[in-house]
């Protein structure tokens, strides 16, 4: 069983014991899995995936497109068109599975790596690039797609999500599994050490807020492995806060969908928060500025390649759903088209000018700031006509 | 007209704002049944319910962080930080999230959050209960910082702050919570939120102050009459942004200025005023702008706070020095 509910405290490690190593890639990790890395469907006593193969084809398409977008963004960074990129490589199933479980009225609070969830919510991928190209700081309207701005300060958004969920409570938007609203907060294994995340757990628990905490445990917080963040599996922490925690195979899009959907349903019904630990692996670097060869073994990477989230769905669809090459080719072609559009859109993003960025510091601008803007404009104008 | 204390005036202002707008929420530690450690929110939970007057867990970052989420949902949270020295666990949420959200979203998100902080010394408290950290917020683009000096302003300014679509840090002079004044709730305020107020007209020098120092400076100005000096006193009311027009007009008239605050001397609000007055009023000045402030030490043990805090004598000493040029 990999679900924990409020009840007896989990085993406590005595201080004299040696730190417990995190589960290694080669070890068996207990989690909810519905599709094996080989592409075979398996049963789980608590979670089922009941949707048809067309839905699974849709998940496949989502994951391939998102990986293609991610690859293009990485290439744009390498060519100097983006200052930085945070790749989601390897985490496609965790993001598409959870993202596709959301209802239209649910609200998402992402980190800066949730490109797949953004895609599910209908956010134009080009909007994601502005922050990394340095032309804006996100600047999409969260209301357009129920997708809040990317948050870079680690874990801060979990409190925003909890507060938003408390607003849903106060608006009487919960209590109905079909029409109710929920909020989902994304964060990583590193963020689980942040005070804000732990405060968010407490607040969500005592106010019974309709929020799902979705932790993508990708095993690495830049260079720090999971055993620098925790001595127990992260999902077990939920028990100490008084709500259920569940670990899911984060590379299994079917299981991630099923587990997230159940947690969202629970939130919408008014039964409170759930912690989901999506057990996955950051296949790429932390960001394009990072060099993982300095701190992790290539054999781990090779091992996780065998658990690839897309390959297993490809295998399932080919073997058990009679999906032929045409479909896979079409998806690939669609990815290339989106990538080309993304590239063209990125290169066409207008360069911002500082005089525009005195706006929106305040709703009601201060006289001091207006004065500084005017001074800047006059100063900049003094160079006009110079070679 | 009712005679009302500054603390009760804030209570009445909160009540008026909550009656006017159902989206206004009040949240903080011990603010519900207890009514806050200073009783400023007394009775609000009884009348508006636990969903609108929220006793929070003891976690300041949680208070501000969840207020951000509530604001995103369309609410107007008024957060109480129990004491000045306890705001720092929330500093990241205030600086990195609340202050920047409007800017980062290029105007699409608004953060109509008020952060109420009882501040300043003079009550014989233990450490972390007497600080004046206003500069640490005034320096941050995206925040507005205000402080009330009397019960009438307290009543109106808290309502104006709640109506503001910009996030506001509202510093309440805790040692003046029991000061009384006549309040006419039917007469709307004459000043907008970010305007200073000339509380005593004078000709010889200008005392610039806010919060708890307004009363101190008014007393000093009365005492200075015996020395034949007619001092102007300005209650700044707004620290970020300063109402520079009112400051400049006064200093151009009196040609001398002393800034008075409890916050430490260096990099304090007085430093900014001195710089701006020097830039704008250079040829009018008869003396440099002086500052009478707390010292650049941590807030001292309370048995010594009378020596640390600017009082009537130190303000008059500052006036002597500024008149000596």
Burial zone of B275 (CB within 10 Å; 0-12 exposed, 13-18 middle, 19+ buried): exposed
Quote the number of domains for chain B.
2
Does residue B41 sit within a domain? yes
Token pair of B213, please?
């120092």
Distance from CA of B212 to the nearest CA of A (A): 25
Crossing angle for the helix pair B60-72 and A156-170, nearest 10 degrees? 60
Residues B143 and B239 in one domain: no
Token pair of A144, please?
């357009």
Tell me the average pLDDT of chain A: 93
Task: State residue B48's pLDDT score.
Answer: 98
Q: What is the CATH number of the domain that holds B243?
A: 3.40.50.920
Q: pLDDT confidence of B28, banded at 50, 70, 90? A: very high
Strands A3-4 and A245-249 come out as antiparallel
Closest chain B residue by Cα to residue A158? B65
Give yes or no for residue B264 having a pLDDT over 70.
yes
Asked whether the ipTM of the predicted complex exceeds the cut of 0.95, the reply is: yes
Q: Tell me the backbone φ, ψ of residue A324, rounded to 5 degrees.
A: -105, -175
Three-state DSSP class for residue B80 = strand
Residues A379 and A294 in one domain: no
Q: What is the CATH number of the domain that holds B128?
A: 3.40.50.970
Token pair of A42, please?
């398996």
Cβ A203–B66 below 8 Å, yes or no?
A: yes
Task: State residue A39's pLDDT score.
Answer: 97
Cβ A164–B65 below 8 Å, yes or no?
A: no
The domain boundary, picked from B183, B212, B237, lies at B183
Cβ B107–A200 below 8 Å, yes or no?
A: no
Residues B161 and B209 in one domain: no
Cβ A159–B57 below 8 Å, yes or no?
A: no
Residues A289 and A368 in one domain: no
- Contact residues, chain A, for B109 at CB < 8 Å: 141-142, 149
Residues B55 and B139 in one domain: yes
Give yes or no for residue A1 having a pLDDT over 60.
no
Query: How many CA within 13 A on the CB side of residue A301?
Result: 11
Distance from CA of B209 to the nearest CA of A (A): 20
Residues A8 and A139 in one domain: yes
Tell me the pLDDT tens digit for each residue of B206-262. Answer: 999 999 999 999 999 999 999 999 999 999 999 999 999 999 999 999 999 999 999
The DSSP code for B120 is -
Residues of A identified as active-site: 282, 286, 295
Question: Which one, of A247, A252, A217, lies nearest residue A2 by Cα?
Answer: A247
Task: State residue B215's pLDDT score.
Answer: 98
Residues B35 and B112 in one domain: yes
- Contact residues, chain B, for A149 at CB < 8 Å: 101, 104-105, 109
Q: Which residue has the higher pLDDT, B325 or A385?
A: B325
Per residue, the 3-state secondary structure of chain A, as one string, reads: CCEECCCCCCCCCCCCCCCCCCCCCCCCCCCECCECCCCCECCCCCCCCCCCHHHHHHHHHHHHHHHHHHHHHHHHHHCCCCCCCCCCCCCHHHHHHHHCCCCCCCEEECCCCCHHHHHHHCCCHHHHHHHHHCCCCCCCCHHHHCECCCCCCCCHHHHHHHHHHHHHHHCCCCCCCCCCCCEEEEEECCHHHCHHHHHHHHHHHHHCCCEEEEEEECCEECCEEHHHCCCCCHHHHHHHHCCCEEEEECCCHHHHHHHHHHHHHHHHCCCCCEEEEEECCCCCCCCCCCCHHHCCCHHHHHHHHCCCHHHHHHHHHHHHCCCCHHHHHHHHHHHHHHHHHHHHHHHCCCCCCHHHHHCCCCCCCCHHHHHHHHHHHHHHHCCCCCC
Cα angle value B205/B239/B280 (rounded, 5°) = 50
> What is the total residue count of chain B?
325
Distance from CA of B189 to the nearest CA of A (A): 19
Question: Which one, of B322, B308, B324, lies nearest residue B132 by Cα?
Answer: B308
Residues B158 and B71 in one domain: yes
Residues A357 and A305 in one domain: no
Tell me the average pLDDT of chain B: 98
Tell me the pLDDT tens digit for each residue of A190-203. Answer: 999 999 999 999 99
Residues B272 and B304 in one domain: yes
Tell me the pLDDT tens digit for each residue of B74-99. Answer: 999 999 999 999 999 999 999 999 99
Tell me the pLDDT tens digit for each residue of A156-172. Answer: 999 999 999 999 999 99
Among A11-20, A30-39, A228-237, B309-318, which stretch is predicted with the lowest mean pLDDT?
A: A11-20
Q: Tell me the backbone φ, ψ of residue B55, rounded to 5 degrees.
A: -75, 115
- Distance from CA of residue B192 to its chain's centroid? 15
Token pair of B62, please?
């949680």
Does residue B99 sit within a domain? yes
Tell me the pLDDT tens digit for each residue of A360-375. Answer: 999 999 999 999 999 9
Residues A341 and A362 in one domain: no
- Contact residues, chain A, for B56 at CB < 8 Å: 203
- Contact residues, chain B, for A170 at CB < 8 Å: 25, 51, 75
Q: What is the CATH number of the domain that holds A249?
A: 3.40.50.970
Q: State which residues form the domain around A86.
A: 3-347
Question: Which one, of B141, B163, B75, B148, lies nearest residue B117 by Cα?
Answer: B148
Residues B206 and B262 in one domain: yes
Closest chain A residue by Cα to residue B110? A363
Task: State residue A14's pLDDT score.
Answer: 44
Closest partner residue to B61 among A167, A195, A206, by Cβ?
A195
Task: State residue A177's pLDDT score.
Answer: 79
The CA distance from A113 to A125, in Å, is 12
Task: State residue A27's pLDDT score.
Answer: 55
The pTM assigned to this predicted structure is 0.95
Does residue B51 sit within a domain? yes
Residues B124 and B217 in one domain: no
The DSSP code for B123 is S
Residues A105 and A188 in one domain: yes
Distance from CA of A137 to the nearest CA of B (A): 5
The DSSP code for B86 is G
Residues A310 and A367 in one domain: no
Residues A221 and A204 in one domain: yes
Closest chain A residue by Cα to residue B143? A362
Does residue B232 sit within a domain? yes
Task: State residue A23's pLDDT score.
Answer: 47
Residues A336 and A364 in one domain: no
Residues B208 and B171 in one domain: no
The CA distance from B287 to A183, in Å, is 59
Residues A377 and A324 in one domain: no
Q: State which residues form the domain around B213.
A: 197-323
Residues A259 and A366 in one domain: no
Closest chain A residue by Cα to residue B71? A164
Residues B137 and B258 in one domain: no
The CA distance from A169 to A161, in Å, is 12
Count other C-beta atoms under 10 Å from residue B52's C-beta.
18
Q: What is the dihedral of CA B96, B101, B105, B108, to 10 degrees?
A: 180
Q: pLDDT confidence of A25, banded at 50, 70, 90? A: very low
Residue linked to tokens 């002597």: B320
| Residues sharing a CB contact under 8 Å with residue B262, sequence separation 6 or more, in sequence order | B120, B121, B132, B211, B212, B213, B293, B294, B309, B310
Q: What sign does the CA torsion over A25, A28, A34, A35 have?
A: positive
Residues B134 and B38 in one domain: yes
Does residue B190 sit within a domain? no
Count other C-beta atoms under 10 Å from residue A376's C-beta.
14
Quote the number of domains for chain A.
2
The domain boundary, picked from B155, B183, B211, lies at B183
Q: pLDDT confidence of B117, banded at 50, 70, 90? A: very high
The domain boundary, picked from B183, B209, B234, lies at B183
Residues B137 and B241 in one domain: no
Residues A342 and A359 in one domain: no
Residues of B identified as active-site: 129
Q: Taking residues A222-237, what's their average pLDDT? A: 96
Q: pLDDT confidence of A385, banded at 50, 70, 90? A: confident
Question: Which one, of B197, B171, B191, B67, lies nearest residue B119 by Cα?
Answer: B171
Question: Which one, of B316, B324, B321, lies nearest residue B224 by Cα?
Answer: B316
Three-state DSSP class for residue B109 = coil
Q: Taking residues A230-246, what's their average pLDDT? A: 98
């Amino acid at each position: 069983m990999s679900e924990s509910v409020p009840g007896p405290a989990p085993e406590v490690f005595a201080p004299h014991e040696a730190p417990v190593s995190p589960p290694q890639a080669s070890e068996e990790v207990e989690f909810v899995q519905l599709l094996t890395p080989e592409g075979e469907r398996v049963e789980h006593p608590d979670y089922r995936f009941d949707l048809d193969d067309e839905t699974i084809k849709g998940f496949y398409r989502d994951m391939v497109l998102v990986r293609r977008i991610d690859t293009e963004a990485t290439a744009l960074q390498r060519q100097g068109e983006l200052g930085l990129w945070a790749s989601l490589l390897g985490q496609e199933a965790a993001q598409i599975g959870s993202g596709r479980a959301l209802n239209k009225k649910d609200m998402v609070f992402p980190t800066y790596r949730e490109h797949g969830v953004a895609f599910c919510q209908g956010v134009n991928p080009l909007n994601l690039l502005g922050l990394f190209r340095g032309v804006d700081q996100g600047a999409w309207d969260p209301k357009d797609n129920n997708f809040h701005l990317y948050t870079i300060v680690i874990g801060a958004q979990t409190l925003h999500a909890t507060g938003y969920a408390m607003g849903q409570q106060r608006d009487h938007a919960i209590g109905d599994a079909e029409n109710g609203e929920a909020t989902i907060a994304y964060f990583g294994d590193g963020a689980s050490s942040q005070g804000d995340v732990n405060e968010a757990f407490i607040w969500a628990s005592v106010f019974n807020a309709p929020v799902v905490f979705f932790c993508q445990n990708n095993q690495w917080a830049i260079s720090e492995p999971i055993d620098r963040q925790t001595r127990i599996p992260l999902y077990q922490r939920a028990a100490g806060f008084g709500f259920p925690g569940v670990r899911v195979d984060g590379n299994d899009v079917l299981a991630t969908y099923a587990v997230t959907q159940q947690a969202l349903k629970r939130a919408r019904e008014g039964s409170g928060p759930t912690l989901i630990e999506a057990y996955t692996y950051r296949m790429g670097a932390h960001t394009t500025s990072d060099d993982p060869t300095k701190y992790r073994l290539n054999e781990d990477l090779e091992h996780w390649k065998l658990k690839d989230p897309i390959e297993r769905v490809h295998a399932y669809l080919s073997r058990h759903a009679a999906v032929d090459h045409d479909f896979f080719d079409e998806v690939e072609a669609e990815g290339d088209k989106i990538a080309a559009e993304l590239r063209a859109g990125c290169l066409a993003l207008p360069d911002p000018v500082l005089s525009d960025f005195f706006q929106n510091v305040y709703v009601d601008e201060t006289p001091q700031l207006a004065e500084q803007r005017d001074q800047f404009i006059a100063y900049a104008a003094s160079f006009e006509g110079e070679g | 007209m009712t005679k009302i204390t500054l603390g009760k005036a804030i209570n009445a202002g909160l009540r008026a704002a909550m009656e006017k707008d159902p989206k206004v929420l009040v949240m903080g530690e011990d603010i519900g049944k207890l009514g806050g450690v200073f009783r400023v929110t007394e009775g609000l939970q009884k009348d508006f319910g636990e969903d609108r007057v929220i006793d929070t867990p003891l976690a300041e970052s949680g208070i501000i962080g969840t207020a951000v989420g509530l604001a995103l949902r369309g609410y107007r949270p008024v957060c109480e930080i129990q004491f000045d020295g306890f705001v720092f666990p929330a500093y990241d949420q205030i600086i990195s999230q609340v202050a920047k959200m409007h800017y980062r979203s290029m105007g699409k998100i608004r953060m109509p959050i008020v952060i109420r902080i009882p501040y300043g010394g003079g009550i014989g408290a233990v450490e972390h209960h007497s600080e004046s950290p206003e500069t640490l917020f005034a320096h941050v683009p995206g925040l507005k910082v205000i402080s009330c000096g009397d019960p009438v302003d307290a009543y109106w300014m808290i309502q104006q702050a709640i109506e503001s679509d910009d996030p506001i840090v509202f510093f309440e002079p805790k040692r003046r919570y029991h000061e009384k004044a006549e309040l006419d709730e039917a007469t709307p305020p004459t000043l907008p939120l970010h305007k200073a107020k000339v509380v005593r007209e004078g000709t010889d020098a200008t005392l610039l102050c806010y919060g708890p120092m307004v009363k101190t400076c008014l007393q000093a100005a009365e005492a200075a009459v015996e020395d034949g000096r007619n001092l102007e006193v300005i209650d700044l009311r707004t620290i970020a942004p300063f109402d520079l027009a009112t400051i400049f007009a006064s200093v151009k008239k009196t040609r001398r200025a002393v800034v008075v605050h409890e916050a430490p001397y260096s990099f304090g609000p007085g430093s900014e005023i001195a710089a701006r007055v020097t830039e704008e009023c250079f040829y009018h000045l008869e003396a440099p702008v002086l500052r009478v402030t707390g010292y650049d030490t941590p807030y001292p043990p309370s048995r010594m706070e009378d020596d640390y805090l600017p009082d009537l004598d130190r303000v008059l000493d500052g006036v002597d020095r500024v008149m000596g040029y």
